[in-house]
Amino acid sequence: MAPSRSATSSTRFLLRAVHSTAFRLQSTPAPQGHLPGHPNSPFLTSLEDSFFDKVRANAASSKSPDGRPGDGIPTYRLLDGTGKLLEGVTEEMIDIGKEEAVRMYEKMLMLPAIDVILYNAQRQGRISFMMTSHGEEGAIIGSAAALALQDEVFAQYREMGVLLWRDFPLDLVMNQVFGTEGDLGKARQMPIHFGSTKHHFHTISSPLATQIPQAAGAGFALKRTKGREDNVVICYFGEGAASEGDFHAGMNLAATKKSPVIFFVRNNGFAISTPASEQFCGDGIASRGPGYGMLTIRVDGNDALAVRSAVKSAKAKALKYHRPILIEAMTYRVGHHSTSDDSSAYRSKKAVEDWKRIDNPLHRMRNFLTDRGWWSDEREEEIKKHYRSEVIAAMGRAEKRKRPSLSSMFEDTYAEIPEHLQEQRAELARLVHLYGKSEQWSKELPKYVDEGKDLEQYRRE
């Protein structure tokens, strides 16, 4: 019987792990790690050499003996798998001081602190839905740290860290997730579908890839707006979303309109249960960049410093040359897709544990800081405790707040409420009037501001 896919891939994984350990012992103390789906991608530490915008026909046809895509597109990284600078990497290349590096790591730690508590809150039935960022902390915070606070963000859903980097308050995180009257979006979105004008973070939409053409348009608008010439758009999406038609529409629009947009694809190995190996046939998503005439770079998404420097450089190039840039960040989705998913149905728990050990973005950043004397075990404990109590306190506050008033759900889309919405509002008013005192409704209504009484004025009979 043919071995199952997971058995085959875990065998491959083990072989690679053994090979890389043996290699390390024999020749170099710097573990190179590997990347999901692209174990043969060579690592580059030169930023300039890592950008490309031409299809290299001869490279594309080379295959390794077992059919994997040969050397493929290289991956830019600065740190090795343990957080040590790779050979030849200078201070100038990392270009970061203590304050910013520590802040990056602290924000990276804040993500799992929130994720663990909200994931459990969903399991306890306190919120309806949750998506975590486990494993992608380096890609998200590294990219956020490279940008100005006014650069416009179009996110997919796994990028709460960008808001945290921009000091989006924990209370607003909780108000959104719990759908309270304090939510900026008035509780009209599913949990984790954030949006904040003040933080230049455009509201997340559930339909995949819709943000890509929107980002292309926003980039074009930025270019035409006086005073915004120094800003870019960053558009995040998963490698799965890159299979949507909107990906093509957005990439082509941005390229032809020369919009200053950084398309940041998080290649985390999965679109829910579908592994990247079954989603597309090319060399990742980076291989598509030259097809759009787009300057492109593949970066180790678990190396927060490499991500930061790639995004900084991408921004500079987008502004200097008036063109969009594609960044493919290679990472791994450690958590389940969402709370509606159980990933043990399609990947082994052991494979996840192995990926967590190799190239872990949190460990690498912690070691980097510790080696410089910028971090200590005591500080680690202290900040983790601090986050835990802050997150729990903010959750407690949100849980006590009311939901927005029932009548507010009909507002804000139109300046004047059109007749069909007025009819629906009158119907809700009728139902609340009729059933409001029933056992179930009388328990539910007090959870809303005005307890449904605000609707009475709209009753038509």
Q: Return residues touching ligand TPP (CB under 6 A).
A: 158, 206-208, 237-241, 266, 268, 270-272, 333, 337
How far apart (Å, rounded) are the C-alpha atoms in residues 283 and 368?
Answer: 30
Return the amino acid letter for 325: I
Which of ligand TPP, Mg ion, none binds 158 (CB below 5-8 Å, type-dependent)?
A: ligand TPP
CB of residue 176 to ligand TPP, shortest distance in Å:
18
The side-by-side arrangement of strands in the sheet containing 295-300 is 43-44, 75-76, 295-300, 325-330, 261-267, 233-238, 152-154, 201-202
Distances (CA, A) of 391 to 129, 180, 394, 396, 422: 17, 16, 5, 9, 39
Nearest to 202 by CA among 250, 159, 259: 159
Least distance from Mg ion to the Cβ atom of residue 279, Å: 8
Cα separation, 413 vs 422, whole angstroms: 13
Closest distance to ligand TPP from the beta carbon of 338 (Å)? 8
Give the other-Cβ count within 10 Å of 184's Cβ. Answer: 18
Binding range to Mg ion, per CB under 5 A, among 10-18, 84-92, 238-246, 278-286: 238-246
According to DSSP, the β-strands at 270-271 and 274-275 are: antiparallel
Q: Which residue is nearest to ligand TPP (CB)?
A: 238
| Residue 206 contact, options Mg ion, ligand TPP, none, Cβ 5-8 Å cut-off depending on partner type | ligand TPP
Q: Which of 112, 135, 219, 238 binds Mg ion (CB under 5 A)?
A: 238
Q: Output 165 or 237, the one with its CB closest to ligand TPP.
A: 237
Question: CA-CA distances (angstroms) from residue 395 to 131, 270, 299, 400, 434?
Answer: 16, 30, 35, 9, 34
Distances in Å between the Cα of 366 and the Cα atoms of 344, 361, 373 are 29, 9, 11
Beta-bridge partner residues of 201: 153, 196
Q: Which partner from the list Mg ion, ligand TPP, none does 183 bind, CB cut-off 5 to 8 Å by kind?
A: none
Q: Report if residue 268 touches Mg ion, rule: CB under 5 A.
A: yes
> Judged by CB, which is closer to ligand TPP: 38, or 333?
333
- Number of amino acids touching Mg ion (CB under 5 A): 4
For the record, the structure tokens of 167 come out as: 């000091």
* Residue 37 touches Mg ion, criterion: CB under 5 A: no
In the bound complex, what is the minimum distance in angstroms from residue 115's beta carbon to Mg ion?
A: 17
**Residue 220 or 355 having the CB closest to ligand TPP:** 355
Q: Which stretch binds Mg ion (CB under 5 A): 8-16, 142-150, 221-229, 240-248?
A: 240-248
The verdict on 284 binding Mg ion (CB under 5 A) reads: no
Q: Which residue among 81, 219, 240, 361 contacts Mg ion (CB under 5 A)? A: 240
Q: Which residue is nearest to Mg ion (CB)?
A: 238
Of the candidate spans 262-270, 303-311, 320-328, 426-434, the one that interacts with Mg ion by CB under 5 A turns out to be 262-270
Instruction: Residue 164: name its binding partner from Mg ion, ligand TPP, none (Cβ under 5 to 8 Å by kind).
Output: none
36/240 with CB nearer ligand TPP: 240
Burial of 71 (0-12, 13-18, 19+ CB in 10 A): middle
- Nearer to Mg ion (CB atom), residue 268 or residue 338: 268
316's CB contacts (< 8 A; 6+ apart) are none
Query: 250-268: b or e for each residue (b if 16 or more CB lie within 10 Å)?
Result: bbbbbbebebbbbbbbbbb
- Tabulate helix, strand, coil % of the chain (nearest 5): 50, 10, 40
Our CB check for Mg ion shows the closer of 36 and 195 to be: 36
Return the structure tokens found at 155. Answer: 């996110």
DSSP per-residue string spanning 324-340: -EEEEEE----S-SSTT
* Distance in Å, CB of 238 to ligand TPP, minimum: 2
Partner whose footprint covers residue 241, from ligand TPP, Mg ion, none (CB < 5 to 8 Å by kind): ligand TPP
Instruction: Output the smallest distance, CB 341 to ligand TPP, in A.
Output: 9
The Cα–Cα gap between 390 and 384 comes to 10
**What's the closest the beta carbon of residue 138 comes to Mg ion, in angstroms?**
15
Choose the stretch contacting Mg ion; rule: CB under 5 A; options: 216-224, 232-240, 301-309, 404-412.
232-240
Identity of the residue, 50 or 331, whose beta carbon is nearer to ligand TPP in the bound complex: 331
Residue 288 or 401 having the CB closest to Mg ion: 288
Of 337 and 403, CB closest to ligand TPP: 337
Contact by Cβ (8 Å): 288, 258: no
Of Mg ion, ligand TPP, none, which one sits near residue 329, judging by CB under 5 to 8 A according to partner kind? none
Q: Which is nearer to Mg ion, 213 or 301 (CB)?
A: 301
Residue ranges binding Mg ion (CB under 5 A): 238-240, 268
